Amino acid sequence: MRFVIMCPKDMGIDTIVSECALKGGKNVKVAPKLRQVFCDMEEGGANAIANIPGVKVRKSKVYRTNLRNRLEPPNEPGVWKQDESSIMQPVYAASQASIFTTLYELRDAFSPPITGAGATVAILDTGIMSGHRGIGDKVVHNTNFSDSGTYEDLFDHGTGVAYVCAGGQHAPNTESGIAPGAYLMNIKVIGDDGIGSDESVVMGLEHVAELTADAIAAGKSRLDPERPNAISMSFGAEEPYDEEDPVILACKEIWDEFGHELNMVAAAGNSGPGPDTITIPASSPHVMAVGAITISPFLIWEGSSRGPTNDGRIKPEIVMPGINILTASAAGVDAFTVKSGTSFAAPMAAGLECLLGESSTRFGFADAMVGMSIEEWNMLLTIIGAKPEGMPMGLDNSYGAGVPVGEKFLNVLGVSGGLDTSTLMSGVLSMAMVGMMTGMMKGM
């Protein structure tokens, strides 16, 4: 049986490795930064180790990309056109056009445009297809912690997630994700069957934490492609929140060391609409859980997981469009498909992190942004969040703070001239205002 052993801070990780050997542990793997050990062991040996003061032991559990078959078929089929470069370009149906057409206008409203340039997102998922035209050369790092023999995306999930976050390019009448100027790291933690484990997820998080620590130690800036700025996780374990869960503890370790230097976002899960359905890792207090909304009408998707968590916390933090999203497919280098679920809402939030990173640096509030507490961050989200009419102010267990929009903040910077700020997504770049608002909150 495979076990996860979590080591307290006052105990050397080598002590646990030695105990595993003494108790007959085999196939031992270690995540030293996150203080966890994985091994095959008889239950009696695991129980003996669990009796060591401060040590926590859990049986390894399963993570999946799609927790239930709640994904809706597209209402409108994707259509295609041949452009001047002889590349097949997908064309959004009406329900999708409002997202990315307006995003181009908003990114371009700044001079120079804000595209997430220099930011890097670690995509923990099923891999990213090499050579996909929608991804291009954005992937700067590949590694594999799944049980697959390759870091390529053979399940056709991670490629779409990566594209929504940072695919395409910033150009008129051209497909793109939220932050087409950003880089991507392909951290494969889910296998070719769509299944992962505590071990694969924690080892992926360990790797990103190591890359971040090494980049900081080397003096690399926040906008260096070798320094991750955010982690996007579009998978989950359908388990109640447990503060001693291995992945929950790993996320806490990352937050304790890096804070907003390495923001974590995760799909809330597709297990709604009941309460206490937020999946791990989205249920972590240190991870931004992202629910999914429909665009027209602007409503929470029925299958989007909801809070409160079993310890009474409000989740998700925000919601983003996640239904009938046209995105890249690993079926071929030119392939696109329409998908639904919180899996595709989460990378939108990660893309916004990239836009925020570039804009807060440009406007001089990056340090204040990084120094924010979770409470300050959540308060800021409620200021810039938008919900359907009649929904409660502040955070709630369906919409969180809402969609990060807010035309008033765009107006403050004078970037809304000529733009239609009445539509749902027209204010999405108001995440760029977070730096400014952070400065006000910090008294700068």
Q: Which residues are registered as beta bridge partners of 5?
A: 37, 57
Cα 390 to Cα 146, 382, 393, 413: the distances in Å are: 44, 15, 9, 28
Tell me the helix, strand and coil percentages in the chain, rounded to 5: 30, 20, 50
Annotated active-site residue in 283, 343, 416, 430: 343
CA distance 108 to 437: 21
Query: Which of 95, 132, 148, 157 does the annotation list as catalytic?
Result: 157
Pair 413, 436: CB distance under 8 Å: yes
- Check if the beta carbon of residue 343 is closer than 8 Å to that of residue 267: yes
CA distances from 324 to 58, 74, 225, 342, 424 (A): 37, 5, 31, 11, 16
Active site residue 83: no
141 is annotated as an active-site residue: no
Token pair belonging to 256: 């304790």
- CB 342: neighbour CB atoms within 10 A? 36
Give CA separation, 153 vs 139, 162, 186, 190, 304, in Å.
Answer: 13, 11, 10, 9, 25
372 Cα distance to chain centroid? 19
Q: Is 367 designated active site?
A: no
**Antiparallel, parallel or unpaired: β 79-82 and 36-40:** unpaired
Contact 126, 194 (CB under 8 A): yes
Helix (H) or strand (E) holding 410: helix 407-413
| Active-site position among 98, 125, 245, 430 | 125
Euclidean distance between CA atoms 127 and 129, whole angstroms: 7
Which single residue is written with the structure tokens 């899996």?
Answer: 343
Q: Which two tokens stand for residue 70?
A: 């709640």
Active-site residues, by number, are 125, 157, 343
